[in-house]
Amino acid sequence: MGTIGPVLPTTGALRPLGLDQVRLTGGFWGERQQRNAKATIPHAHHWLEQTGWLGNFHLAATDDLAPHRRRGREFSDSEVYKLAEAMAWEIARGGNAPLDELSTVVAAAQEPGGYLNTMFGRPGQAPRYSDLTWGHELYCYGHLIQAGVARLRGGVRDALTNAAVRAADHVCVEFGPSGRQALCGHPEIEMALVELYRATGTARYLDQARLFVDRRGQATLPDIELGRAYFQDDIPIRERGVFAGHAVRALYLACGAVDVAVETGDDKLLAAVVRQWEATVAARTYLTGGMGSRHEGEAFGDDYELPNDRAYIETCAAVASVMLSWRLLLATGEARFADLAERTLFNVVAASTSLDGRAFFYANPLQQRSAGEALDRSRPWPRASSSERAPWRDVSCCPTNVARTIASLGGYVATADGGGIQLHQYAGGTVTSGDTALTVATAYPWNGTVRIRVDRTADAPWSLSLRVPAWAGEAMLVTPEGAKRVGPGYAVVSRAWCAGDQVRLKLPVAPRWTDADPRIDAVRGCVAVERGPLVYCAESVDHDPAVALDAVNVDRSAPLSERPLPALGRDVVALDLPAPTTSAAGNGWPYGSSSTAEAEPGNLTLVPYHLWANRGPATMRVWLPVAPSTPDRR
């Protein structure tokens, strides 16, 4: 058994360390990983049974799946597979989950030849592959294969892995060079096939993934009202300049393209994805790292089209963005990819799940104008229906996606190369690579100090590289040789190490004002507040009911004071600042001279964005208007 992790390229600038080498033992991410195991995974399992989505496999196995008996959307099989993957990673990192039972249920529904889908192909159902545009059959295979890969990397060959391999073999026959010249409306299978190639060494899986990537953008899918850009089928990926269309589809395709490029040595394809990532980060990404600004088509908007209250920022798109950033980091070794992964993890992925691990956001806007009402937790809800997290949704791709991501998070923290070890994300735990073992102690992101102790080391010198985020500007690095200031990128300590040696990285997590590019019209004249990697927001539950968050103004020259907020967590830091409330004269017309506005003194409390909506329905905003009379003292 080799390294256990979700992304294991055979080549690249950096080699990922897996779940067997990185153990998260506490702190921000360690606690969330424990909550994921104890609450989120069992919760998702319960709802898959409650909704009948898991029962579809029981019915399929007994040939009793008439159309009127099947439950869930056409892609509901994928939620079972994502849960299976989450369970596989949880078991691989030393936990427990009822995966054997789930695997048996899934495998029993597979048909001779490897076909496996509960929506198509049985009496009374539409024929196999009769709706590749919307049917999600290949998409579902992708998640099945990724679950199988997780199990294989955990050293287990069972019913789930056998089902995944048989399905992949079926796809290679059905959609190979001599098969259907077609592809799925939802990319996903591309990266799954590459990981199966990496796990098994079977070249036809890589060949099939490359074939799917090359077919995309050839107008293979039908034109629709949203255009072929919705499926990324309008322009070949090598010619695209920026991510467009359905955000999750675009990001999943980019992940698969990077995987294909790395394994085939296609530097031009890799460069194309990097170019698209750069353009998207520069003009189509939110402060939180979220992607996807349009509810229509769950899509990227035009450059600088980044509304706050209508932001979509699907949780699955955040997961996909982290997956892509990690792949690009492994391929290039460049810190900017880890920077975006950190921003997205702390501000969207962490925001998606409630503090009890049993309710979830689908969309993650940066402003909530209406508090809404508390949700009934006994039933599923529409996917973007309220200001509260829902226990389950009619489309529940996000809970299982987050569950598999958090379970495998140890595989997104550290890497190694011929020169040493690199730490890209900071979490309390242990890191091992060969003869070297480290302990990482930190209260990050609440505190900026990260301590690394060498517990075991080889005699030969090696380098420890610590990422200094771009937001930090400058950090203090303390080594056995002394202290020095270091800038963004990687602070590298090269020496002959001894057991007991320690290094400290001190990142400045003091609160700071953040401006937006003036081309983002939605936030022109506004500022945001960040502290370390965390974006902050104002939430109505911290203020008098008479205070309307859409009427506050802030003085950016005013001090930001910190205080603990134990109601949201042991180490949580809230921020307070003076903020007058401005109200215009009510004359039945919402336009006029600003001279009609009157300001009343007040105070504003800011909380980490990822924690909002954990205390009942609330209004919220991230970007705060600057008071017109306040001079800019930057």
Could you say which of 172, 397, 398, 537 is catalytic? 397
Residue 78 has what DSSP assignment? H
Residue 457 identity (one-letter amino acid): T
Burial class of residue 586 (count of CB atoms within 10 Å of its CB; 0-12, 13-18, 19+):
exposed
End-to-end Cα, the chain, rounded Å = 56
Q: Count of CB atoms within 10 A of residue 280's CB?
A: 24
Could you say which of 298, 314, 342, 530 is catalytic? 298
Three-class SS of residue 161?
helix
- Give dist(CA 555, CA 493) in Å, integer: 41
Quick check: is 298 catalytic?
yes
Three-class SS of residue 577?
strand
Please tell me the total number of residues recorded for the chain in this structure: 634
Contact, 413 vs 427, CB < 8 A?
A: yes
Helix runs in 217-334, H state only: 247-264, 267-283, 315-332
Burial 337-363 (b: 16+ CB within 10 A, else e): bbbbbbbbbbbbbbbbbbeebbbbbbb
Quick check: is 334 catalytic?
no
- Give dist(CA 415, CA 402) in Å, integer: 22
Look-up: residue for tokens 């698209």?
276
Question: 271 CB contacts (<8 Å, ≥6 apart)?
Answer: none
Contact, 4 vs 153, CB < 8 A?
A: yes
Residues annotated catalytic, as ranges: 298, 397
